Amino acid sequence: MRLLRIAAATLIFTTLAAPQTPFYLKDGDRVVFYGDSITDQRLYTTFAESYVVTRFPTLNVAFTHSGWGGDRVTGGGGGPIDTRLNRDVFPYKPTVVTIMLGMNDGSYRPFDQKIFDTFTSGYEHILDSLKQNAPNARVTLIQPSPYDDTTRAPMFEGGYNAVLLRFSDYLKTLANTRHLDLADLNTPVTAMLAKAAVAEKDQAPRILPDRVHPAPAGHLVMATALLKAWHAPALVAEVEIDAQSASSKTKSAKVTDLHSAPQLSWSQTESSLPMPIDFKDKLVDLAVKSSDVIESLDQEILRVTALAAGKWELRIDGLPVGVFTADALAKGINLATLNTPMLKQAMEVHSLTIKHNNIHFTSWRTIQTGLATDASPYTKQNAMLALDQLDHELVAEQRAAAQPRARHFALIPQN
């Protein structure tokens, strides 16, 4: 598995200099992720948050995860739709709202026009309410992630995912009509499942174990689709070292203290971190290999030219990262796919992302809504204030953990 990743990492990488549309999120944005149980899993949303925090470590963006299991356009276990919006969206004064609904709205049965009409009218109501109560919010409609009719036989002729695709087509038309943004989380996940099923037939169904709720592997692909819709840049950093002249070229990185003797070494400070991808998770590794996650979001390129022929060990901060041929290093390796100190730092950030969201979840679901009629307003308010303070402290730790750090690189000949 590791050898395959290293092989993939040593492909020729062309210069990542093409102009890009600016990233969708802006300094000061307040993002609310709204949806059903798939959003309530807090996985594609936390992957997206961690990407933003690690790729733009100076960008001030707040994230609130407001998914509730079983939700439809009419509401659900968290109350009717207007209760949900008034309690779980509008108080956060969002400048960006994502909406992911549809999985439950189709009722897990063949297409039914009456059910579909309820979905369309309910969705229109949500958008009208957003326009009235958060008029400046930028809205991304999310075409729902798939029901897995790919790795196993459909429940009925045509399958339930075909129903979701009809809902998705409506959302695409609605986004065009209302001039809203759109993210397709169905097509790329379905394509990934098809490739994964060819590669590992027995493992692929575990990516959506109950056909509805993805494992982290599926959510990583979903987060990639959302971030691509937001014009997320692929580049983490790009560094080229000329071993003969002891010179460097960089993008989104800084190289200092470059020495060619007694061994090639330098200090490298990258402007951002790679995606926090746990390649040790076999399903994550399978999903990554069966999708465009790395190509789309995770390019951390190191290219070293004019090295003597043979094999070279790369060490970062004294830790061995891998052994590569001079030819592979000249073509370029993608550090984002390797076990580097930068990846470990990104994983630390992601851990804090999950922790602070769990604290908010406790405040919102256990105190605010769970004890709505079982505690005095004073006691409840104090408990929520304490949890909110802890949430803020964890966010501060998260942002501090994402800041660039200088790393010591060395290439040691193995001949």
Is there a single domain that holds both residue 304 and residue 338? yes
Tokens for 104?
């439950």
Is there a single domain that holds both residue 118 and residue 242? no
Tens of pLDDT, residues 168-209: 999 999 999 999 999 999 999 999 999 999 999 999 999 999
Nearby residues of 135 by Cβ (< 8 Å), 6 or more positions away: none
248: β partners: 241
Nearby residues of 141 by Cβ (< 8 Å), 6 or more positions away: 98, 99, 171, 174, 175, 180, 181, 182, 183
Residue 383 lies in domain: 1-20+234-415
Tens of pLDDT, residues 212-223: 999 999 999 999
The CATH number given to whatever domain includes residue 37 is: 3.40.50.1110
Strands 264-270 and 406-413: antiparallel
Residue with tokens 């575990």: 206
Per-residue pLDDT tens, the chain, 415 aa: give them. Answer: 444 444 444 443 444 444 579 999 999 999 999 999 999 999 999 999 999 999 999 999 999 999 999 999 999 999 999 999 999 999 999 999 999 999 999 999 999 999 999 999 999 999 999 999 999 999 999 999 999 999 999 999 999 999 999 999 999 999 999 999 999 999 999 999 999 999 999 999 999 999 999 999 999 999 999 999 999 999 999 999 999 999 999 999 999 999 998 889 999 999 999 999 999 999 999 999 999 999 999 999 999 999 999 999 999 999 999 999 999 999 999 999 999 999 999 999 999 999 999 999 999 999 999 998 887 888 889 999 999 999 999 999 999 999 999 999 999 999 7
Q: How many CB atoms lie within 10 A of CB 164?
A: 23
- For the chain, the domain total comes to 2
Is there a single domain that holds both residue 162 and residue 272? no
Question: Which helix (H) or strand (E) covers residue 171, if one does?
Answer: helix 160-178
Q: Domain boundary at 174, 200, 229, which?
A: 229
C-alpha dist (Å) from residue 342 to 41, 116, 271, 339, 368: 27, 47, 11, 8, 38
Tokens for 239?
């560094």
Q: Domain boundary at 176, 196, 229, which?
A: 229
Is there a single domain that holds both residue 39 and residue 67? yes
pTM: 0.93
